[in-house]
Amino acid sequence: MSHSHEHDHEASAAISNRVKHLIGTLERRGILTESQVDATIHSFLSKARPANGFRVVARAWVDGEFKQRLLTDATSAVGELGVDLSHWAPVRIRAVENTHALHNVIVCTLCSCYPLSLLGPSPTWYKSEAYRSRVVRDPRSVLDEFGVRLAPDKEVRVWDSTSELRYFVVPERPAGTGSLSEAELGELVTTNGLIGTALV
């Protein structure tokens, strides 16, 4: 997928400068230090791992009742597996399932809202203007660039995340995996699969 790398670099530099300015202001006012900010971010990211999402999907593949709860109320269902979403309040999570007739893909057209606790830090391309604008207008072409080639009669549905509601995809369970354990199934799942830009 092609991106405007120069534009992305300029945007990242502008954000970095704003963050440095904000931290400097907070330090001067005695509110908190840069090391405290770093410690908070490190603590948050240490719990925000793609493995969380992989486990959720693997459980859904082996436990039909859990999958139904996941599709009905993902926020509660992921909590059953010990995934902490409390720092997101009041953000809700919604799981959307790929089937033989439907392929889902997620995006945040306004910025880069993303279920960090389940998918880990978002890929650079997910935050790019190119992806955010094109996947809504022409999802099949974007998916094709990721190597996801779908049958013409398969519906493609794009889900636009917001600050209050984040989506993730439950991919179709691969054929021939009936003998695999839940842990082994989790190893088949990928971050792109949870976004919808890859098949599992």
Which residues carry out catalysis? 108, 111-113
Closest CA to 197 of 117, 121, 106: 106
Tokens 């991919």 sit at which residue?
171
Report the alpha-carbon distance of residue 178 to residue 3 in Å, rounded: 39
Q: How far apart are the first and last CA of the chain?
A: 20
Element (H, E) at 95: strand 92-97
Q: How distant, in Å, are the alpha carbons of 63, 94, 114 from that of 177?
A: 14, 25, 29
What is the C-alpha to C-alpha distance for residues 186 and 55, in angstroms, rounded to an integer?
5
C-alpha 36, offset from chain centre: 26
CB atoms within 10 A of CB 36: 13
Distance CA 112, CA 137 (A): 17
